[in-house]
Structure 1
């Protein structure tokens, strides 16, 4: 099938398309979206290299620029992704490569990544993604509009052999268990946000100055 009719309109059937800056694939998953964001983040990173590698700027300042202008591109829309282990590693690998560049680490140097995050006063990519997913979960749980209706849709699919793909619901369930937030009700907005902030702030790297 190459076309589908909706009312008086005819739409082309494609395998993937861009919507609001994110990539959607007919096969599901977020692999294509992650690859697209990695490419876009590197483009932004190279444009900002004169600032991000400027030795006259404090490393914390360079880290703030990176977080605001590059990491935000890398992670755009990731709060809605059901991230697989391979996709997570790919995102972290790209994030780590850029941070090592910002910290002016040479390829042959083996410096613990946690110490580099502390230098630029940033949390790990995985922690940020986890926080974003749970913030979005709170919004979704409290919603009474179309988001809540979509979650209740029963889409018939053929059961394939092998382990089923990880769903977004599975990911956020794991996030809640990891952070000990199983007992917190997302409908209580202030409590949900407060507990989430408390849990993740305790994981923040210490601030350092040049």
Structure 2
């Protein structure tokens, strides 16, 4: 599979040999048309629970750099899966945006309503960029909750020592719970992809991953979040017709 956006190209394969063939085909094809591929900025990542070394070379027999993290369209992907790396990158980006606006949002003379507006329209969207595909476990929810409350407490001037509840601060500022916002974004994305017949995103979402999950408590998947969302929304279990598309052991 290949993903194309402007001058960015991602080549995906199930094996090292297949990835080498696809990469060589792309490089030879593009350079035959006069397009020079910058192999120094081309990176390889192997998605696995274990450390896997891959050896992909270009047409000059130079080995491409292997990384554990890969950023594509401002979303950070981790070789071991999960969403914590991507989330922490968005947290850092949100704090950078906060510092850019600190002259206004930290000014006590500015109306609080304006500061909340700046947070909701200019900072929180940076924090939640790509959140529709995050897998949310307890730790991920805690990271988002802690980040948002640090910002909201700075807006209100309320410290942790004052022991004011987070729900009270949100109610006072009129700000929705961050994790509820993520749920809304995720369900909107799920419905959008579900309606796109034959689209690669839907094919990937409904694909069945071969193999069995390891022993012990399994890691939460994005599909598990969707099932929970649908169950809570409908007040009953998730719809089998929509979600039961993979082997329970896979």
**SS at structure 2 position matched to 1:176:** helix
Cα separation, 1, equivalents of 2:238 and 2:211: 33
Check if 1:147 corresponds to 2:201. Answer: yes
* 5+ long unaligned stretches in structure 2: 1-14, 28-57, 59-63, 240-250
Bigger shift: 129-138 or 13-22?
Answer: 13-22
Cα separation, 2, equivalents of 1:19 and 1:109: 42
Cα separation, 2, equivalents of 1:150 and 1:32: 21
Check if 1:177 corresponds to 2:231. Answer: yes
Give the 5 Å matches for 1:118-129: 118-129=171-182
Shift of 1:177: 1.6
Check if 1:17 corresponds to 2:62. Answer: no
Cα separation, 2, equivalents of 1:126 and 1:120: 17
CA offset digits 1:109-145 (Å, max 9, x no partner): 1112122212322101011111111111110111111
Cα separation, 2, equivalents of 1:170 and 1:43: 32
Q: What corresponds to 1:30 in structure 2?
A: 83
Q: Check conservation: 1:53, 1:103, Cα contact below 8 A.
A: no
Bigger shift: 148-157 or 27-36?
Answer: 148-157
Query: Cα–Cα, structure 1 residues 2 and 117, in superposed 2: closer, same or farther, change >3 Å?
Result: same
Check if 1:164 corresponds to 2:218. Answer: yes
Q: Taking CA–CA contacts closer than 8 Å with sequence separation of 6 or more, which of the two structures ends up with the larger relative contact order? A: 1
Match of 1:67 among 113, 116, 120: 120
Match of 1:100 among 140, 153, 176: 153
Cα separation, 2, equivalents of 1:65 and 1:23: 25
Bigger shift: 31-40 or 51-60?
Answer: 51-60
**SS at structure 2 position matched to 1:122:** coil
Bigger shift: 167-176 or 143-152?
Answer: 143-152
Shift of 1:7: 4.2
Cα separation, 1, equivalents of 2:206 and 2:180: 28
Cα separation, 1, equivalents of 2:86 and 2:205: 21
Q: Check conservation: 2:228, 2:238, Cα contact below 8 A.
A: no
Q: Check conservation: 2:144, 2:179, Cα contact below 8 A.
A: no
Structure 1 stretches of at least 4 aligned residues deviating more than 3 Å after TM superposition: 1-4, 9-13, 181-185
CA offset digits 1:49-99 (Å, max 9, x no partner): 221122333322211111111111111111111111111101111111111
Q: What corresponds to 1:138 in structure 2?
A: 191
Cα separation, 2, equivalents of 1:94 and 1:7: 40
Cα separation, 2, equivalents of 1:184 and 1:161: 25
Q: Taking structure 1 as the reference length, what is the TM-score of the superposition?
A: 0.79
Report the number of matched residues.
185
Larger Rg: 2
Q: What corresponds to 1:206 in structure 2?
A: none
